[in-house]
A and B are shown apart, each in its own frame.
Chain A
Amino acid sequence: MLVLFETAAGYAIFKVIDESKLQEVDSLWKEFETPEKANKVVKLKHFEKFQDTTEALAAATALVEGKIGKSLKKILKKVAATEAHEQLAISDAKLGGVIKEKLNLSCIHSPAVAELMRGIRNQMEGLITGLPPREISAMSLGLAHSLSRYKLKFSPDKVDTMIVQAISLLDDLDKELNNYVMRCREWYGWHFPELGKVVTDNMAYCKTVLKIGERTNVAGSDLSDLLPEEIEGEVKLAAEISMGTEVSEQDINNIKHLCDQVIEITEYRAQLYDYLKNRMMAIAPNLTVMVGELVGARLISHAGSLLNLAKHPASTVQILGAEKALFRALKTRKDTPKYGLIYHASLVGQTTAKNKGKISRMLAAKASLAIRYDALGEDTNAEMGVENRAKLEARLRQLEEKGIRRISGTGKAMAKADKYQHKSEVKMYDPSGDSTIPSTSKKRKFEEVEEAEEPVTPVTQKTKKPKKEPVAEEEAAQMETEETPKKKKKKKEKKEEAVAEEPKEEEQEEEVTEATEKKKKKKKKKVKEEEED
């Protein structure tokens, strides 16, 4: 009798040496206690090893379904060729029936056979020579994983690890690119600093540096394809009068290498972004339609995986990314944030500030449905996402129009908003109103200084029994200073004062002498007090 024994490494055919032992089913286990004893009962006749994991996987799936796989057919044909009269002991009765049909081999399955199988399984390593036990366990592990993945219809398209890694790489590249460009600018700025100030775009800067190399080549080179004309002209001009130092050929070469790197990384970044967009559309089409690729990818990477993201309630999706603000607000019993990463979605971006909160909540609710559909649904199409987005946009329009509906009339008519007209109203600051002490503008000419000082004294004296002489002049001075605040333009003020000053200069000279004695205002006040006393 032959025994068919399936392992993860391959098919094994054993020949039962001593068939009488099979009669005593209960004590059969004794025969398999040690490898030596086992070898006396059964002997390995043939071992068909699986070539690779695909073959093993095919054999395993055939076994699960109870069919004969290719490798099994091969080995059984060999058996049929040599020993067709022998019976074949197998573990699965159904399989036995199929073998009998197809290959005309009589199969048996009985309790004795089951015991036999147990024994063989116990002593698997000892019986199947030429196969180290490590290999069997490694093969069975690999086969189990492939079989499980096959069962779960694992599709490499729907792996969201790619998204998580791609978005992190995108952020990394941006940081690195920025660093490199800054370094390049600083380095080349040693030789030609003006270029950095003239050319603001990073890519254009690097390409320009690559093209011109040494500053002296600028005049001869043609930068029209890299830079717009005016800037090119400015560059050429700056190259003539640059204050940078000379650098050697080797230095320029190294800088050029750096510029090469920058350009390569920028191109790679663009390529990566495309790749990310494709993957997002393949993995989560509904989410992509609703919030966009970048925001969707950030949400997935923040949650860890698409399935994790699907487990979050909509309120969490709304504030994913604002955890610091959220917990701070919760601890201090303040208002929690209204949006997190969702803020950067186009739907939220295009609303007014007042409605951002409402839209963010609505978008989070619908997006959460889309995420769950993508993560757990069977088929992958973007219909649901498109529908939801249309609904949201309609609601958005409603929100914005809610405030401007006509009150009277039909009520349903829409109030017409005024066409936006830019009323250019430039208001100038009026400095005269900020001090009760009548003074002129701050920028005073030499003549004004004297004039400014002298009104101080007359005013104070006016309030407390002024002498008669200064009275008339005080009033005149006061009139003058009252006039000046009314005029807006300071230049005119100065002119008028200057004009008014001159005729009065002679008159005021007396007071000027008084004023010059008391130079600082504080001192003057004290003096006045003394005078009053």
Chain B
Amino acid sequence: MRPGFSPRGDRGGRGRGGYGDRGGFGDRGGRGRGGFGDRGGRGGFGDRGGFRGGRGGFRSPEGGFRGRGGGRGTPRGRGGRGGFGAGRKVLVEPHRHEGVFICRGKEDALVTKNMVVGESVYGEKRINVEEGETKIEYRAWNPFRSKLAAAILGGIDQIHIKPGAKIMYLGAASGTTVSHVSDIVGPEGLVYAVEFSHRSGRDLLNVAKKRTNIIPIIEDARHPHKYRMLVGMVDVIFADVAQPDQTRIVALNAHNFLKNNGHFVISIKANCIDSTAAPEAVFASEVKKMSGENMKPQEQLTLEPYERDHAVVVGVYRPTPKQKK
């Protein structure tokens, strides 16, 4: 007879689901009932997308509609939106590299398709695009923070990181670039993220919690045998460790885990290897060390204008010898 006391789990659950997202923005907007709370949490992106048609061209004849658009345009509380404000018409087209996209609007940006819709990993901008019925969310990739993005924008020929690939990422730090790599490889691929620092490791663990294709490994990359239990064979090794013996580190990991004809992408910071020598000399010496370890470099690219005295080297490991008959 008595209605059982349900501890309002259902509403609490929904509230909690929305709250996690909002917590990230530090935004305690009013949480009313019904769908209004969700709209608040998205930061108004989803809602404003609907008005895009009206605002973009200002083609609507009704003055009232324009007034509404004007009202929405003025409060720019969030600031720093750049070219992708709410309701801006943007076009997302695929990049030459598979899994990477370019967002064209007032300013162009490199974006990847967000695997965890609605969440921002390090506060980057998210762009929502409607394709017919499906809504796809993309995350902006900052080339000043990520060496891989800088290399792509610099015009590197092949990154070898594509959907479905297995990547070993040495020097994962807090997981900012790792999240983009995870977006590129998609749910079929795997990213083994190795990071030794405990502080960054905690952030990496949080990123890995949301993305199931990231396997976090809090170990020293110098001893790959310590994490041999967790790792299978990989297709690509990406290294951003900034250590003087980084070539040896990559070589050790490659001997253990990189398949034949697998590729490696190494980011070299000249200052880190040898601060007295000229950067070009440092890069050349690193390339020479690689060749000695059965790693054949194929291209080298400096990361100007995003980084100074940095270079990215892409190569192949244990290439199958071309049979001359």
Contacts and interface: CB of A to CB of B under 8 A. Distances in A.
Interface of A: 6-8, 29, 59-60, 63-64, 91-92, 114, 117-118, 121-122, 124, 136-137, 140-141, 143-145, 147-149, 151-152, 164-165, 168-169, 172-173, 176, 257, 260-261, 264, 268, 301-305, 307-308, 321, 327
B11 interface: yes
B206 to A, nearest CB: 9
Q: By DSSP majority rule, is chain A's interface helix, strand, loop, or mixed?
A: helix
A309 to B, nearest CB: 10
Contact of A152 (B3, B201, B230): B201
Give the one of B23, B77, B198, B231 with max A CB within 10 A.
Answer: B23
A304 B5 contact: no
Interface of B: 2-3, 5, 7-8, 11-12, 15-16, 19, 23-24, 26, 28, 77, 190, 198, 201-202, 205, 208-209, 212, 215-219, 225-233, 255-257, 259-260, 318
A117 B257 CA distance: 10
Contacts of A143: 229-230
B159 to A, nearest CB: 23
A144 B215 contact: yes
B256 A8 contact: no
Contacts of A141: 212, 215
Nearest to B212: A141
Contact of B26 (A117, A148, A303): A303
B233 A60 contact: no
Please provide the 6 A-B residue pairs with the shortest distance between their CB atoms, ordered closest to farther: A304-B23, A151-B218, A144-B215, A148-B218, A6-B229, A92-B225
A168 B215 CA distance: 32
A169 B201 CA distance: 30
Contact of B15 (A114, A144, A168, A302): A168
B189 to A, nearest CB: 11
Give the one of A145, A264, A305 with max B CB within 10 A.
Answer: A145
Contacts of B19: 164-165, 168
A260 B3 CA distance: 10
A122 B232 CA distance: 7
B260 A29 contact: yes
A9 to B, nearest CB: 10
A368 B259 CA distance: 50
A145 B205 contact: yes
Given A64-B219, A122-B233, A140-B215, A257 B205 contact: no
Nearest to A308: B26
5 contacts: A59-B229, A145-B209, A151-B198, A152-B205, A169-B12
Given A60-B229, A302-B28, A152 B218 contact: yes
B38 to A, nearest CB: 15
Nearest to A320: B26
Given A148-B205, A148-B216, A151-B198, 18 more contacts: A7-B229, A8-B230, A64-B226, A118-B233, A121-B232, A144-B216, A145-B205, A147-B218, A152-B201, A152-B218, A168-B15, A172-B15, A176-B8, A257-B3, A260-B2, A261-B3, A302-B26, A305-B23
Nearest to B223: A64
Nearest to A305: B23
Contacts, number: 103
Contact of B23 (A124, A151, A301): A301
Contacts of A257: 2-3
Contacts of B257: 121
Given A60-B230, A143-B229, A301-B23, A152 B202 contact: yes
A151 B204 CA distance: 13
Contacts of B233: 118, 121-122, 124
B255 A165 contact: no
A396 to B, nearest CB: 29
A376 B145 CA distance: 25
Contacts of A164: 19, 23
A108 to B, nearest CB: 15
B43 to A, nearest CB: 14
A148 B212 contact: no
Contacts of A136: 232
Given A148-B218, A152-B198, A176-B8, A304 B24 contact: yes
B85 to A, nearest CB: 17
A149 B206 CA distance: 11
B95 to A, nearest CB: 28
Nearest to B216: A148
Nearest to A138: B212
B123 to A, nearest CB: 11
A302 B216 CA distance: 28
A165 B19 CA distance: 9
B100 to A, nearest CB: 25
Nearest to A120: B233
Nearest to A312: B26
Contacts of A145: 205, 208-209, 216
Give the one of B208, B212, B228, B256 with max A CB within 10 A.
Answer: B228
A168 B11 CA distance: 12
A264 B5 CA distance: 8
Contact of B225 (A91, A307, A327): A91
Contacts of A321: 28
B5 A261 contact: yes
A145 B228 CA distance: 15
B7 A268 contact: yes
A144 B230 contact: yes
A220 B284 CA distance: 100
A146 to B, nearest CB: 11
A297 to B, nearest CB: 13
Contacts of B255: 114, 118
A92 B252 CA distance: 13
